[in-house]
Amino acid sequence: MQLLLIAGHGAGDPGAVSGVFQEAVETRRVVGALVRLLKGYCDVTQYPPVRNAFSDFRTGQLNKQVPLPDFDFVLEIHFNASAAGPKDGKTKGVEIFVPTSAAETAAEEQICRAVAAVGLTNRGLKRYNWAVINAAHRAGVRSALLEVCFIDDPDDMLVYTTKFDAVTQAIANAIITQFSLKKEEKPVTYEEFAAFMDRYLTNRAKLAPSAWSNEARAWAEKANIVQGGSDGEKKYQSFVTREELVQMLFRTK
């Protein structure tokens, strides 16, 4: 599957602002986490984070930045705002938008439910032709706009900040499940295997010898059968090559 993730606002437009939180910053934080979580499950493209997709839409640059017809699903990330009141123990919640004529919505509804399950009110699925997702829809691509939570609601942001990993994992899991994605197993190259073995052997050689071999080690060292390396380390937990084995046997003559 070809997935396009878009972080709302940016490029001089902070979006909604509340205290230390800026929507453009948080949308990029969420998208960055989703890119990492979905890597290997599908081909993930992140809309250039230095750009503003809505501004590009208005200037005719959107499809020049990313060819929308190349994607199977476009997910745009935003945060809501509504001049919320003080902390009251109640979250305003998460909602997701699809274009008005979108047919299939099961995946989008599941994304919303999954985020709500972390601790936010589920405001459900709504239909509206927001510019960017509607452009994708007109290009024949399934698309949605997720309002993660209300950036100006203290209760929403408490859930978001303290459970950020759970929120982003919930979004990723919903996408993985609803689109039946399977993680591709990447073959290990010889170079990767060799580097792994080097680390393993180096770390194993640093392990202390076992107590049960105390007497045998003392005898072997006294008889000069085991001499250790140039650094004097005997490295009893490391593996022995045939060369090293015959050398130790030779010393018993």
Q: What SS3 string covers 183-222? A: CCCCCCCHHHHHHHHHHHHHHHHCCCCCHHHHHHHHHHHH
Please say if the pLDDT value at position 252 is more than 90.
Answer: no
Burial class, 78, CB count within 10 angstroms (exposed 0-12 / middle 13-18 / buried 19+): buried
Mean pLDDT confidence for 47-65: 96
User: Do the bridges between strand 17-18 and strand 21-22 make them parallel or antiparallel, or are there none, so unpaired?
Assistant: antiparallel
- Domain spans of the chain? 2-178, 196-250
Q: How far apart (Å, rounded) are the C-alpha atoms in residues 245 and 219?
A: 16
Cα distance from N-terminal residue to C-terminal residue, the chain: 68
Domain spanning 2-178, CATH class: alpha beta
pTM of the model: 0.75
pLDDT of residue 167: 98
Q: How far apart (Å, rounded) are the C-alpha atoms in residues 146 and 112?
A: 8
217-235, pLDDT tens digit by residue?
A: 898 888 888 887 777 788 8
Average pLDDT for the chain: 94
